[in-house]
C-alpha cells in the first residue's frame, strides 16, 4: 500500500482513534453523579475514577512514544487500541468503586499509546511539508475538540440511557477504529536501537509524573500545604532529579534531553503549555456554570458546545494553509491572542447570560486555538530528527496533559478563593432590611449567588490575561528557513 495514495485515510484513522480516546476523559466526568448514586459513594471517592485515568495516561505516554519508535508505531498503536476496547467493556460492567478504578487505570494506560504513535504515523506518512503540517493541525484539533464534544455526546447518552452507555459505546466504535488502522496504516519505525530499553528512566519518570499529576488533581481537596501535598511535592522533585541523573548517562534515554536544547522545540512547548492550561481550565468550568446557574441539563449543556466545536474544526485547515505563507511565530501569536480575547469575553457572564452570550466568546476562543494548531504541532515535528518523532510527540502530549491538570488545579483554586473572598466583601457592603428568617435566608442566598458568579468571572478574566500575555512567547520561536521550505521531508524507514 502506497502511503501517498492512502495518506488522507490514514489521517481519518488516527483522528478517529485520538478523538475516541480523549473523548472518554470528558464524557466520564458527566457520568460521575450517576455513578455516585449506583455505587453508594461520595464525591471524594468518585474523583478517583477520573484521577486513575489521568494518572495512568500521564505516566505511560513517554514509554509508548519510545516503544513506537523502536518496536513499530503501527504495532504499538494497535496494542493500545485493543487495550482501550477491552478496558472500556470492563468499565461498562464495573460493579463497585474498586473495580472501576482498576479498569480505568487499564483504560488510561492503553489510551496513552495513541497520541505519540499517531503523531509519528502522520509525520512519516505525509512527506510533503505543507501537507504534513495541515494534517497534523487537523489531527491536533481533534485532540482539543474531544474536550468540547464530551458534554455534547455524553449528555444525551446519560440522560436517555445510563452511565454505563458512555463506556459501552466505545466498544463498537473502537472496533471500527481498529479495522481502519489495520487497513490503512503502514508499519514504520525510527532508527534501530541496539541497546536495551531504558527501564530505570521509565520508572523514575513514571513516579515523578505520578506524584505531580496526583497532587495537581487532589491538592485542592487535601490542601496545597497539607502533609499529603508536601509529601508528593517531595516525591515529584526527588524522582525528577533521579530521572535527570539517569538520562544524562543513558545511551538511549526514554526522553532525549537534547531536545530541550532546541529553541524551536522548547519555545513551542511553552506556548502549548499556556494555551492548553487556559483551554482545559476554562472548558472545565463552563458546564459547571451552565448547569449550576443557568439550569441546563447535561444535554442542553452539550448543545451549548456545538458552535465551539464547529469553530475549532473550521479553523484548523485554515491554519494549515498558512504554512509557508506566514511566519509560524505570527500565526501562533495571532491564534493565542484571539483565544485570549474570547476567554476575556466570558468574564462578563452572569446568571442571566443567554446562549449567544456564552457561545460567541467560546467560539472566538476555539477559532483562535484552531488556526494555530497546525503550527504548534508541526513545529515539534520539524524540530527533531524523523526517527525521534515518537519521543518528541510523547513530550508534546505530556506537556498538554500536565498543562490541563495545572489549569484545572489552578483555576479551581482561584475560583474557590475568589468565591470565599467575594462572600465577605459583598456581605460587608450589603444591608439587610427584611424581617424574619425566610427573608434573611433569601438575603444570604443572594449574597452567595452573586459571590459565586463573580468568582467564575474572575477566573475567566485571569485565564484570559494569562493567554494574552503568553501569546507574546510565540515571538521566541524562530524557525530556520530551510526547515520550513519543504527541503526537509519525512520518510518511512
| CATH code at position 409 | 1.20.1250.20
- Pick 83 or 152 by higher pLDDT: 83
CA 87 to chain centre: 20
How high is the pLDDT of residue 53? 84
How high is the pLDDT of residue 450? 77
* Alpha-carbon distances of 247 from 172, 199, 242, rounded to whole Å: 41, 11, 9
How high is the pLDDT of residue 205? 86
How high is the pLDDT of residue 402? 82
Find the largest Cα–Cα distance for the chain. 83
pLDDT in tens, 13-69: 998 888 888 777 778 877 877 888 888 887 667 778 877 887 788 778 888 877 877
Most confident of 22-26, 302-306, 338-342: 338-342
Q: pTM for the full model?
A: 0.76
How high is the pLDDT of residue 196? 65
How high is the pLDDT of residue 237? 95
- pLDDT confidence band for 439 (50 / 70 / 90): low
- pLDDT confidence band for 481 (50 / 70 / 90): low
Whose CA is closest to 458, among 428, 429, 425, 431? 425
- Please say whether the beta carbons of 7 and 125 come within 8 A: yes
- Please say whether the beta carbons of 101 and 48 come within 8 A: yes
How high is the pLDDT of residue 100? 92
What nine digits make up the cell of 136?
Answer: 497534523
Domain count of the fold of the chain: 1
d(CA 421, CA 209): 33
Does some domain include residue 287?
Answer: yes
- The SS3 assignment for 322 reads coil
d(CA 329, CA 478): 7
- pLDDT confidence band for 149 (50 / 70 / 90): confident
pLDDT in tens, 259-300: 888 888 888 888 888 888 877 777 778 877 887 788 887 677
Most confident of 112-116, 334-338, 348-352: 334-338
- Pick 243 or 451 by higher pLDDT: 243
- Pick 216 or 182 by higher pLDDT: 182
- pLDDT (average), residues 154-183: 88
Does some domain include residue 243?
Answer: no
Non-local CB neighbours of 369 within 8 Å, separated by 6+ positions:
144, 275, 279, 312, 315, 335, 339
- Please say whether the beta carbons of 155 and 30 come within 8 A: yes
Whose CA is closest to 204, among 392, 59, 388, 410? 59
Structural domain range at position 59:
3-198+250-484
Percentage of the chain with pLDDT > 90?
16
Is the torsion defined by CA of 287, 288, 289, 292 positive or negative? Answer: positive
Does some domain include residue 26?
Answer: yes
d(CA 483, CA 490): 12
Does some domain include residue 492?
Answer: no
Q: Of 77-86, 133-142, 160-169, which gets the smallest average pLDDT?
A: 133-142
Burial-class residue 89 by CB neighbours within 10 Å (0-12, 13-18, 19+).
middle
- pLDDT confidence band for 437 (50 / 70 / 90): low
d(CA 265, CA 288): 35
d(CA 156, CA 143): 21
Non-local CB neighbours of 490 within 8 Å, separated by 6+ positions:
123, 124, 126, 127, 132, 381, 386, 389
How high is the pLDDT of residue 148? 67
Tally Cβ neighbours within 10 Å of residue 491. 9
Q: What is the overall mean pLDDT for the chain?
A: 81
Percentage of the chain with pLDDT > 70?
88
d(CA 141, CA 373): 7
- pLDDT (average), residues 173-193: 81
- pLDDT confidence band for 144 (50 / 70 / 90): low
pLDDT in tens, 367-389: 988 888 778 877 877 787 777 77
DSSP 431: -
How high is the pLDDT of residue 305? 77
How high is the pLDDT of residue 491? 29
Does some domain include residue 207?
Answer: no
Does some domain include residue 234?
Answer: no
Does some domain include residue 233?
Answer: no
Non-local CB neighbours of 188 within 8 Å, separated by 6+ positions:
72, 73, 74, 120, 121, 124, 492, 493
Q: Of 46-50, 239-243, 406-410, 433-437, which gets the smallest average pLDDT?
A: 433-437
* pLDDT at residue 440 tops 70: no
Does some domain include residue 410?
Answer: yes
- pLDDT confidence band for 213 (50 / 70 / 90): confident
Whose CA is closest to 286, among 2, 175, 294? 294
Which residue is associated with the grid cell 486555538? 369
Crossing angle (nearest 10°) for helices 43-71 and 97-111: 30
DSSP 430: -
- Please say whether the beta carbons of 344 and 465 come within 8 A: yes
Tally Cβ neighbours within 10 Å of residue 77. 27
* pLDDT at residue 405 tops 80: no
Amino acid at each position: 500500500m502506497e502511503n501517498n495514495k492512502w495518506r488522507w485515510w490514514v489521517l481519518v484513522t488516527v483522528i478517529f482513534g485520538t478523538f475516541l480516546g480523549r473523548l472518554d476523559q470528558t464524557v466520564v466526568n458527566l457520568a460521575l453523579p450517576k455513578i455516585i448514586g449506583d455505587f453508594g459513594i461520595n464525591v471524594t471517592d468518585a474523583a478517583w475514577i477520573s484521577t486513575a485515568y489521568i494518572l495512568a495516561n500521564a505516566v505511560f505516554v513517554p514509554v509508548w512514544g519510545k516503544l513506537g519508535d523502536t518496536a513499530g508505531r503501527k504495532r504499538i498503536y494497535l496494542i493500545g487500541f485493543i487495550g482501550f476496547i477491552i478496558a472500556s467493556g470492563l468499565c461498562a460492567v464495573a460493579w463497585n468503586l474498586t473495580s472501576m478504578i482498576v479498569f480505568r487505570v487499564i483504560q488510561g494506560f492503553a489510551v496513552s499509546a495513541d497520541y505519540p504513535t499517531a503523531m509519528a504515523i502522520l509525520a512519516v506518512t505525509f512527506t510533503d511539508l505543507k501537507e504534513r503540517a495541515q494534517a497534523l493541525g487537523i489531527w491536533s484539533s481533534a485532540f482539543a475538540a474531544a474536550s468540547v464534544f464530551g458534554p455534547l455526546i455524553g449528555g444525551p447518552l446519560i440522560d436517555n440511557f445510563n452511565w454505563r452507555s458512555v463506556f459501552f459505546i466505545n466498544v463498537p466504535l473502537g472496533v471500527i477504529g481498529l479495522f481502519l488502522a489495520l487497513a490503512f496504516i503502514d508499519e514504520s519505525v525510527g532508527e534501530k536501537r541496539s541497546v536495551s530499553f531504558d527501564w530505570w528512566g521509565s520508572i523514575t519518570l513514571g513516579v515523578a509524573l505520578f506524584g505531580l499529576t496526583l497532587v495537581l488533581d487532589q491538592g485542592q481537596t487535601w490542601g496545597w500545604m497539607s502533609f499529603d501535598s508536601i509529601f508528593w511535592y517531595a516525591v515529584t522533585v526527588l524522582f525528577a532529579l533521579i530521572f535527570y541523573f539517569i538520562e544524562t548517562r543513558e545511551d538511549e534515554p526514554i526522553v532525549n534531553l537534547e531536545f530541550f536544547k532546541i529553541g524551536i522545540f522548547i519555545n513551542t512547548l511553552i506556548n502549548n503549555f499556556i494555551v492548553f492550561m487556559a483551554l482545559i481550565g476554562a472548558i472545565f468550568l463552563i458546564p459547571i456554570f451552565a448547569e449550576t446557574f443557568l439550569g441546563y441539563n447535561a444535554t442542553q449543556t452539550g448543545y451549548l458546545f456545538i458552535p465551539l466545536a464547529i469553530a475549532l474544526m473550521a479553523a484548523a485547515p485554515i491554519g494549515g494553509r498558512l504554512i509557508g505563507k506566514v511566519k509560524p511565530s505570527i500565526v501562533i501569536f495571532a491564534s493565542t491572542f484571539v483565544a485570549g480575547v474570547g476567554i476575556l469575553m466570558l468574564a462578563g457572564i452572569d446568571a442571566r447570560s443567554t446562549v449567544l452570550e456564552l457561545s460567541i466568546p467560546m467560539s472566538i476562543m476555539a477559532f483562535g486555538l484552531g488556526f494555530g494548531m497546525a503550527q504548534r504541532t508541526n513545529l515539534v515535528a520539524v524540530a527533531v530528527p524523523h526517527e525521534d518523532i515518537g519521543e518528541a510527540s510523547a513530550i508534546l502530549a505530556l506537556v498538554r496533559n500536565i498543562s490541563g491538570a495545572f489549569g484545572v488545579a489552578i483555576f479551581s483554586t482561584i475560583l474557590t478563593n475568589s468565591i470565599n473572598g467575594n462572600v465577605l466583601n459583598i456581605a460587608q457592603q450589603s444591608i439587610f432590611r427584611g424581617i424574619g428568617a425566610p427573608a434573611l435566608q433569601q438575603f444570604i442566598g443572594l449574597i452567595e449567588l452573586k459571590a459565586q458568579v463573580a468568582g467564575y468571572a474572575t477566573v475567566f478574566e485571569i485565564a484570559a490575561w494569562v493567554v494574552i500575555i503568553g501569546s507574546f512567547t510565540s515571538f521566541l520561536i524562530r524557525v530556520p528557513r530551510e526547515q520550513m521550505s519543504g527541503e526537509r521531508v519525512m520518510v518511512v524507514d
